[in-house]
Amino acid sequence: MNVLFLCTHNSARSILAEATLRHLGGERLRAWSAGSSPRANQQPNPIALEVLQAAGISTEGLSSKSWDVFAGPDAPVMDLIITVCDNAAGEMCPHWPGHPATAHWGFGDPSLVEGSHEQKLDAFRRTLHAVRNRIELLLALPPERLQKSSLQASARALASR
């Protein structure tokens, strides 16, 4: 199953989610991330990468990109698209090939935390923990709950956990 995580800039929450699902999903689920409006020359947030590496999660291949990359005819067909920030959830999305299931898992933006480097790290750690918890719940669903007919309801139900 292919899963796409969306956020506005594709630098923090969606990057954390992509890397975490890649780490935990094995052969069962494949993950990507993108942003509705990444800034010019946008890169993954360095603190997000630092927190992922400290958690033993690979950051290889992570990059910030526009969601347009996944709306084209050569893009992998997604089964599930999850917005992880409220801004992206409210935006007009492109037409996704294959009509994937959608869900919104809102997480606060750790990159907005001001303070010392340790305070910022702590915010990213908390967000990673919340993302990982939700992904573990998704992975724990029985196979029949991940079938196209029930996938959207299953993924949306996890938003409140």
User: CA-to-CA distance for 64 and 45, rounded, in angstroms?
Assistant: 9
User: CA-to-CA distance for 127 and 121, rounded, in angstroms?
Assistant: 10
Strand order in the sheet with 80-83: 30-35, 2-7, 80-83, 101-104
> Closest Cα to residue 132, out of 41, 27, 23?
23
Catalytic one of 24, 55, 69, 93: 93
Catalytic one of 34, 57, 85, 135: 85
Residue given tokens 């294959």 in the structure block: 98
Are 64 and 19 in contact, with CB atoms under 8 Å apart? no
Catalytic one of 3, 4, 6, 7: 7
User: CA-to-CA distance for 95 and 159, rounded, in angstroms?
Assistant: 23
Is residue 85 annotated as part of the catalytic site, yes or no? yes
Q: Which residues contact 147 (CB under 8 A, 6 or more apart)?
A: none
As to burial, measured by CB atoms within 10 angstroms (0-12 exposed, 13-18 middle, 19+ buried), residue 149 is exposed
Is residue 7 annotated as part of the catalytic site, yes or no? yes
Is residue 95 annotated as part of the catalytic site, yes or no? no
Catalytic residues: 7, 85, 93
